[in-house]
Amino acid sequence: MARVAVVTGGTRGIGHAISIALKNKGCRVAANYAGNDAAARQFQAETGIPIYKWDVGDFAACQEGVTRITRDLGPIDVLVNNAGITRDGMLHRMTKDNWDAVIRTNLDSVFNMTRLVIDGMRSRSFGRIVNISSINGRKGQMGQANYSAAKAGLLGFTKAVAQENAAKGITVNVIAPGYIATEMVQAVPKDVLETKILPLIPVGRLGTAEEIARCVTFLAADEAGFITGACLDANGGQYMA
Ligand code: NDP
């Protein structure tokens, strides 16, 4: 039976590549997104992957989304918590709204989605949960107290939930990407990229969304049952924990 996989923020950037990679591995994929309907529709037309719009920071909306996907595709076997945003600024200038938005979208969302699929995974004795953190959750990043806190929070969440569910056939892991060539990073001026960012990356280039997707399919595979509570750093050697 094909596994049913949900990718939050699965229509653009890294999530776009994750959705396609899971589909290519034989999963029946549902791609969630927040508000960019045009990008989501284009993604659906190109890939044939069904799209589901809701805000992952909203528990009730997650409940509805999970119910719809379960009705359309079946019970969820693989959850990729990928949706994320940035609202950068130094802490001494950071607004409460920008703190709350990032914690809600990047950390509360992971509780919301995981909480809603965990009972079903436990009852079926199988599950794969992959959380997308960041190099900046590993090492901290100036101007990103909110983002670094949320992404570091995923590391603790992953280890706790991995321990709770290890005996139930459920693995919970985290991937910490470095700089990936998504629209956001490609918008950085060329000279800043070449003089400030690339020199920090021993591999000498940005990562690709497909390279992160490959980490996800590795951890989401049925055969990956002995890997749980782990953090997979994919950052071109920029940070070695
Ligand atoms: P993008 O901005 O390219 O895409 C984000 C996706 O998440 C979109 O599909 C977006 O939907 C969705 N999304 C955002 N907010 C919500 C929400 N509240 N509810 C549901 N969906 C939402 O991001 P990236 O691909 O760059 O990043 C993906 C993940 O990887 C994030 O968690 C990010 O923190 C992490 N990461 C990225 C790195 C990078 O270099 N790009 C490096 C390290 C980590 P919509 O299209 O509707 O806006």
Task: Name the nearest CA neighbour of 81 among 8, 176, 162.
Answer: 8
Q: Tell me, using a 6 A CB cutoff, whether residue 36 lines ligand 1.
A: yes
Among 6, 7, 14, 108, residue to substitute to test ligand 1 (most atoms within 8 Å of Cβ) = 14
Nearest CA to ligand 1 atom 7: 9
Tell me how far the alpha carbon of residue 148 lies from the centroid of ligand 1, in angstroms. Answer: 15
Give yes or no for a contact between 108 and 152, defined as CB atoms under 8 angstroms apart: no
- Whether 203 is in a domain gets the answer yes
**Segments forming the whole domain that contains residue 222:** 4-230
Angle, vertex CA 21, rays to CA 129 and CA 42, nearest 5: 110
Mean pLDDT by 10 residues, the chain (241 residues): 96 98 98 98 98 98 98 98 96 98 98 98 98 98 97 98 98 98 83 92 97 98 98 98 89
Q: What is the pLDDT of residue 185?
A: 81
Task: Name the nearest CA neighbour of 30 among 15, 38, 222, 85.
Answer: 15
- Whether 239 is in a domain gets the answer no
Task: Count the helix, strand and coil residues of the chain and give each as a percent rounded to the nearest 5.
Answer: 55, 15, 30
- Whether 235 is in a domain gets the answer no
- Give the span between the Cα atoms of 206 and 112, in whole angstroms: 31
Q: Tell me, using a 6 A CB cutoff, whether residue 177 lines ligand 1.
A: yes
Strand partners, 53: 33
Task: Report the number of distinct structural domains present in the chain.
Answer: 1
- Whether 145 is in a domain gets the answer yes
Q: What is the DSSP letter of 214?
A: H
- Whether 241 is in a domain gets the answer no
- Give the span between the Cα atoms of 53 and 56, in whole angstroms: 9
- Whether 194 is in a domain gets the answer yes
Q: What is the DSSP letter of 54?
A: -
Give the tokens for residue 45.
């037309």
Question: Left, alpha or beta for 236 (phi > 0: left; psi -120 to 50: alpha)?
Answer: left
Q: How many residues does the chain have?
A: 241
Residue 239 appears among annotated catalytic residues: no
CATH value at residue 199:
3.40.50.720
Contacts of 97 (CB under 8 A, 6+ apart): none
Q: What is the pLDDT of residue 114?
A: 99
pTM recorded for the entire structure? 0.98
